[in-house]
Amino acid sequence: MNDTSNNQSANEESRPPLPPFDAETARMKVRAAEDGWNNQNPEKVSLAYTIDSVWRNRSTFVNGRAEIVEFLKQKWERELDYRLIKELWAFEANRIAVRFAYECHDADGNWYRSYGNENWEFAENGLMMRRIASINDLPITEAERKFHWPSGPRSQDHPGLSELGL
């Protein structure tokens, strides 16, 4: 049985923590998203979103999981040695706002730190149904990098954005 009023489908599993969020569950949701993106597995990342999830990423509009997978494949083919840190900014009911920064380099070895904000809206089953991201890129040198951990999720003892002065 489909319930289109809240973007849920009987074929979609629950993705705890579920809304409404409190400070602890919102932080858990943000860290889970960070860890997922740092694993750079487009198919697995897409499962955190509703089948008909809607994104605005910079000036790109993405609709549904198939487009999410394709978008992420292309992103991580361009953005090499990608490392991301997300931080909770605010939350209310089924919405979370985060700020983030990530570092990566292109095929020519040019490094960037990208800063941004995301607004997320969740369905009752904890899947994200809307993601709105605004992002700015800053060229940096390799010596200016601040995100130093092996590929994959950031270790619990690596500083976050606030601790790094970002």
The region of weakest confidence among 5-14, 26-35, 70-79, 108-117 is 5-14
At residue 11, the pLDDT reads 55
Measured distance CA(46)–CA(66) in Å, rounded: 8
- Whose CA is closest to 113, among 88, 149, 142? 142
Q: Is the bond into 17 cis (omega within 30 degrees of 0)? A: yes
Q: Is 31 helix (H, G, I), strand (E, B) or coil?
A: helix
Measured distance CA(111)–CA(66) in Å, rounded: 29
Q: Which amino acid is at 160?
A: G
Reported CATH class of domain 18-100+116-135: alpha beta
- Whose CA is closest to 156, among 21, 27, 46, 43? 27
pLDDT at 5 over 90: no
Reading the block at residue 24, the tokens are: 């602890």
Is the pTM higher than 0.85? The answer reads yes
The string of pLDDT tens digits covering residues 38-65 is 999 999 999 999 999 999 999 999 999 9
pLDDT at 12 over 90: no
Task: Please tell me what DSSP assigns to residue 164.
Answer: T
